[in-house]
Every structure is written in C-alpha cells, then in structure tokens.
Amino acid sequence: MKITNTFSNSIPAFVDAAKAIRQELTESDFSQALCDDIDLILEEVVCNIIQHGYPNQRAGEISITIETSPEPIIIIEDDSDSFDPFIAETPNAMLPPGQREIGGLGIFLTKNRCLSHSYETESSRNKLTMHVKRCD
C-alpha cells in the first residue's frame, strides 16, 4: 500500500494531513506502536521543515509518501531551503534537560526509530527517505 498526502507548509495543514495519514495507517495491518512511531517521525521532521525551512513564512508545499510494504518507508519532499536534518549533532540525552543544549532531540528520536535515512536535493526540492523499524 502507498499513502500520499500533499499540503501547504503550515502547521494547520500538516495537522490535517497527519490525521488523514494516521487514519489510513490505522486501517492497515500496522500495530499501534508502529503508527505512533510514524506519527512521531512525521511531527518532528515536518514541523522542523515548516519552522526552519521557509524564511519569512514564504509559501511552499510538502509531500509525504509512506510505502507500507514490505517495510514502512517514509518519503518527505519539500521546496524549503536545503538542509539535511540528519547531520545535526546528537544531543547528550544522559544530561538532565536543564543542562543539555536546546534542540536536536526530535531528530535524535527520529534516527532511533529508523533503520536507515538519507537526504538529497535536486532542482530546488529536498527529499528525506526514512526506513522505519517495525516494532510489531
């Protein structure tokens, strides 16, 4: 099965898209835990794209594709400024929240839920591909 949703680069549009995607995942054979992991990955990555990739809140478009067989693969494409979120430094999760640097925890959580991930940019389009660990 393949799930695709394209939306404008705003948080309300993403929330609507995420609800539609979750509904389709729930109707598939995915466990609750795997659906939760996909929700977390989408929220962390897409919210970062929306908040940091579009200077001056310029209009843009984001597309999410989830290929569900045999293993879940998430592909996020957008027209934001080029940036590979996976090169961000991993925060020291062993430090208490008040002692560690702000930021990076969402990407750290995303990396831990993926078997592999890649980033590429071509013709003003960014493409993130994440192979999600099955936890069911």
Mean pLDDT across 113-135: 89
Q: Could you tell me what percent of the chain has a pLDDT over 70? A: 83
Please report the pLDDT score of residue 111 as a whole number: 74
Cα distances from 14 to residues 60, 68, 105, 134, in angstroms, run: 12, 20, 20, 24
- The per-residue pLDDT for range 67-96, each reduced to its tens digit, is 987 789 999 999 999 988 888 666 566 667
Give burial (CB, 10 Å; 0-12/13-18/19+) of 20. middle
Mean pLDDT across 32-59: 91
Which sequence spans correspond to the domains of the chain? 2-132
2-132 CATH, one of 3.40.50.80, 3.30.565.10, 3.40.50.300, 3.40.30.10: 3.30.565.10
Joined tokens for residue 58: 């310029």
Phi, psi values for residue 74, rounded to 5°: -105, 130
